[in-house]
Chains A and B, each alone.
Chain A
Amino acid sequence: MIAGIGAKFLSTCRYFGEIGLLVADVCMSLATTKPRIRLFLNQILEIGARSQLVVIVTGGFTGAVFAAQTFYQFSKLGMESAVGPVVAVSMCRELGPVLAGLMVAGRVGAAMSAELGTMKVSEQIDALRSMGVHPTDYLVVPRFLAMMVSMPLLVAECIGFGIIAGYIVGVMMMGIQEAYYISNTLYFTGIIDLLMGMIKGGVFGAMIVLISCREGLSASNGAVGVGHATTKAVVISSLSLLIANFFLTLFLNAFL
């Protein structure tokens, strides 16, 4: 049993080491090679543009259900006018970044690890290397940059649609007075709240892309291996994101 725990600990250390090496490689690539604009734009389209529907639906319905639930509970205390700020602050600080992150991990992280994993097992990555093209430069960096640009914007979009949906439910469906709803929302929600969500989005994006690329690039054993890599990418990204969110909340609240 102790040997088993030791082996698990070592494999966890190795995993963090590999992610660390990938980060170093990405930094080295950014410092020494020209960014590949065409690949970057393709990834913006794939990660940013094509994730919008998922993020809008997630943000919108989360904001809507959160507003409804908050209204039902707060109305017992006569605090209906607090629904707006509660929804807005929650969407900005927690729900927006976490839910957008989880959806992007599922949609983009899975696609990334599957694509890179397939390239790995079909020797396409070896072909890249054999032509003197570093896989990190060609495959990881454009995805990383595109994610760093797209993710904060996707989070902002998720937050925005959540707040709008909360307004529709709170004001139009539940009958909260519009003036109170808007003024309280604006009074209790600041730029810091939005900034916190977008910073979290950026960190989550970096985690998703690094974990997914690492899993894809280390895939082996044919189609089964690609399947395992894809599953691992989504599971590890999602769990890491939830854990990191807790520490980010503590850290950002202390400094912002």
Chain B
Amino acid sequence: MISVRDLHKSFGSQKILRGVNLDIQDGETLAIIGTSGGGKSVLLRHITGLTRPTSGTVLLDDIDITKLSERKLGPVRKKLGILFQNGALFDSMNVGENVAFPLIESGERDKKLIQQRVEESLEVVGLKGQAEKMPVDLSGGMRKRVALARAIIPHPAYVLYDEPTAGLDPIMADSIDKLIRRMQKQFEVTQIVVTHDMKSVATMADRVAFLLKGKIYFYGTPDELTSSDDKVIQQFVQGVSDDEDVDLEF
């Protein structure tokens, strides 16, 4: 279980997070939505320990990761698989080497087993037989799929996605959404998905947290979100810009 408690983060004078409280239950897929530049990715980086908070705690399986040094965070991070917004594939390695990387780094030396696991992971993301390609030769959607294969290969307890469908065509975005849903069913992982795509939320989320002005403004199911009569939520859900009525500016 992941618990975020009273999390604050400022960059200089700019306050990004202003007291976020959030619980992510084991086995669920939580979508974190909110306006662009509203701190969703910053919140995700805190959950992975990649960014240190100004104050507050992030408990990952009851361990406060905000207090751990970079070296002590290493073993804790092995519970996590993270899909970065642009994939963050190692461009000096081919697809197979990228996907195998977490296994090799966790000490696995059996080449046959590594190859088998790489093939399995690539099959899960629909990229079987692409192991020899270099990241530069892949499309945006394929890069994200490879990054997902890399994230899931060590069978992490938690998988975190930063804008998994951003910049993809609707068909590719839908296939990624379904993949995320399938991940949860197939591997029973706990997932956090940062997105501003409401269609994605409806497809793959069990719960939704709406981040507004550095705080969780709404927490509930996708159905509760869409049926809410709150004006701010409706404006976001329907994608209607009306600055005169509601101020969504951060």
Q: Which residues of A contact B (CB under 8 A)?
A: 28, 118-119, 122-124, 126-127, 129-134
Contacts and interface: CB of A to CB of B under 8 A. Distances in A.
Given A131-B77, A131-B101, A134-B70, A124 B50 contact: no
B77 A129 contact: yes
A129 B78 CA distance: 10
Interface of B: 45, 48, 50, 70-71, 73-78, 80, 82, 84-86, 88-91, 101-102, 105-106
A126 B88 contact: yes
Counting chain B CB atoms within 10 Å of each CB, the highest count among A124, A129, A132 belongs to A132
Contacts of B48: 130
A120 B38 CA distance: 23
B78 A122 contact: no
A166 B201 CA distance: 74
Nearest to A32: B71
Given A28-B71, A131-B102, A134-B70, A123 B77 contact: no
Contacts of B88: 122-124, 126-127
The 6 residue pairs across chains A and B that have the minimum distance between CB atoms: A127-B88, A132-B74, A123-B88, A132-B77, A130-B82, A132-B78
Contacts of A123: 84-86, 88
A105 to B, nearest CB: 22
A51 to B, nearest CB: 19
B105 A133 contact: yes
A114 to B, nearest CB: 13
Contact of B82 (A124, A127, A133): A127
Given A28-B71, A130-B77, 20 more contacts: A122-B88, A123-B85, A123-B86, A126-B50, A126-B88, A127-B82, A127-B90, A129-B70, A129-B77, A130-B48, A130-B50, A130-B84, A131-B78, A131-B101, A131-B102, A132-B75, A132-B76, A132-B77, A132-B78, A134-B71
27 contacts: A28-B71, A122-B88, A123-B84, A123-B85, A123-B88, A126-B45, A126-B50, A126-B88, A127-B82, A127-B84, A127-B88, A127-B89, A129-B70, A129-B73, A129-B77, A130-B77, A130-B80, A130-B82, A130-B84, A131-B77, A131-B78, A131-B101, A131-B105, A132-B74, A132-B77, A133-B74, A134-B71
Given A131-B78, A132-B78, A122 B105 contact: no
A158 B101 CA distance: 38
Contacts of A119: 90
A47 B86 CA distance: 30
B91 A134 contact: no
Contacts of A127: 82, 84, 88-90
A134 B50 contact: no
Nearest to B147: A127
A101 B89 CA distance: 33
Nearest to B71: A134
A46 to B, nearest CB: 11
